[in-house]
Structure formats: C-alpha cells, structure tokens
Homo-oligomer: A and B are copies of this chain.
Amino acid sequence: MQLFVIKVGGNVIDNPALLQSFLQDLAAVQGPKVLIHGGGKIATRIGERLGIESKYVDGRRITDAATIDLVTMVYGGLVNKQVVAHLQALHCNAIGLTGADANIIPAVKRPVKEIDYGFVGDITSAALNIAPLKALLDVGLTPVFAPLTHDGQGQMLNTNADTIASSLATGLSAYYDVRLIYCFEKKGVLQNAEDDDSVIHLINREIYARLLEQKVLSDGILPKLENAFAAIESGVKEVLIGHAADVRSNTSGTVAGTLIC
C-alpha cells in the first residue's frame, strides 16, 4: 500500500494563507499519510517576549534548558494543535504527536564535542517504534509530528524536522510503499539560487556529485538531499522536494518539484 510522509517547513508554518491552502491540499490526499511540521519563527518571537535569547554557535542554534521548554510549548503545543484543529475542520482525522508520544521516536542527546548543542536529539533508526504509529494509521488517523523527540529519561529533545521525516519514512517502508515529500517555499532544488524557476527535476547520486563539484547548490538544501539519499538507500520508494503549493500534483503521480532517486 502507498503511504505519503510529508514534511512542511517552518516558512510555510509562518505564512497563514500558504499554510491554510497547504492543509486543504493535504486533507484531500487519499490514503494513509503522515505529516511532519517544522517550527517556524514563532518560537523565536515568543522567546524574545519571554526574554529567552536565541543562541547560535557557528551559525547553529543551541537548545539550552529554557529553549527546549520554549520549543516544547510552541512546536508541540501551539503549532501542532493549531495544525491538528485545522485538519479536523477539513475532515482529516489528525492526531498531533511528538517523538515522546507512544515512544515512537526515542533519541540520544547529542554528545558534546567541539560544540555543546544542548537538548538536541539524534535519532537512531533502529530505535524507532513503528508499531504504534502503524496502529494509528490502521484506524484511519493522520499522525502530525512536531520536531521533538525525547531521551527516554524524561527529557524532551529538539530534533530537525527533515531528519524526523526521513527516519519515519524509512521505518514505515517496512510496511508501505513510502513516498517522502519535502514541502517548502521553493519549487524544488534550484540550479541557480537566484532563479526560482531553475528547478532541477531529477537528481540521482551521479548528478548530485556533479552539482556538488559545480558548487551550484545552496547550503540549506544539502542536508535535505543527504536525508533524501539516506531514505532511498534504506527502502523509501521515492523522495520529492517541492513547493508547499504543489503538494497536490506531487501526491498524484506528476512531479512538480525535484525527484530524488
């Protein structure tokens, strides 16, 4: 059976009109599906009002104790439940989750090497508990994940939404033909970051190596592509990277973005 694992980025979460039309398209997707949402800037805004400073080392966000509570509130509470309530209004029977719920995504607090990232969770694919997730899908629910995991010792952890998406897609590929779709605010992987229409429609390992050599890819897209190749090598049928507004075509057989294979 086919199943879509769909990740929607923080920039879409931050744009109410785009989010609403994305959720409409998502609700219309037939068959089993799983949504993973990013966080968006709302945690930073609420954090500023609470006097919680965003800390970065070498451009990477550090999740200190105040920040993990902040993102647990904002991503796991506000954003997740608003997405669920909107999907329910669209007659999509959503259930909002973090990786702590039903222990679906246990993680390991990232070991401190040069940088102490704080309460950031790394996922070991082998540790995923797919059975309860499959039980939810089997009764017709649409799981909606916030980008949070836990360490099994009572501590919530901050985990990249792209990584959660590829991990769940990989785990679910034991039971389904999984299509993993990354939805963001670009039409796909761009040949030229300045030109929104320069979408590369197909990327395989060989093309990827050439693109890396030519240094045309933007830094932001590299982890997405690494996650995509890792997913495909672990059993996911197909990975698509495209615009949130194109999720309808990207779930109906046509490819409006970039297909990774």
Contacts and interface: CB of A to CB of B under 8 A. Distances in A.
11 contacts: A46-B50, A73-B78, A76-B78, A81-B98, A84-B98, A84-B150, A85-B155, A85-B156, A89-B153, A93-B132, A95-B132
Given A73-B77, A77-B72, A141-B132, A85 B154 contact: yes
Interface of A: 46, 49-51, 69, 72-78, 80-82, 84-86, 88-89, 93-98, 100-103, 131-132, 135-136, 139, 141, 148, 150, 152-156
A131 B139 CA distance: 9
For the complex of A and B, 5 pairs with smallest distance between CB atoms: A77-B77, A89-B154, A73-B77, A73-B73, A76-B77
A58 B141 CA distance: 41
Contacts of A82: 72, 154, 156
Contacts of A49: 49-51
Nearest to A141: B102
Given A76-B77, A102-B93, A135-B139, A85 B150 contact: yes
Contacts of A74: 73, 77
Contacts of A98: 81, 84, 96
Given A76-B80, A88-B154, A95-B97, 11 more contacts: A72-B81, A75-B77, A77-B77, A77-B81, A81-B156, A84-B101, A88-B100, A88-B150, A89-B152, A89-B153, A95-B102
A98 B144 CA distance: 13
Contact of A69 (B78, B80, B139): B78
Contacts of A136: 135-136
Contacts of A96: 97-98, 100-101
A16 to B, nearest CB: 11
Nearest to A101: B95
A82 B153 CA distance: 11
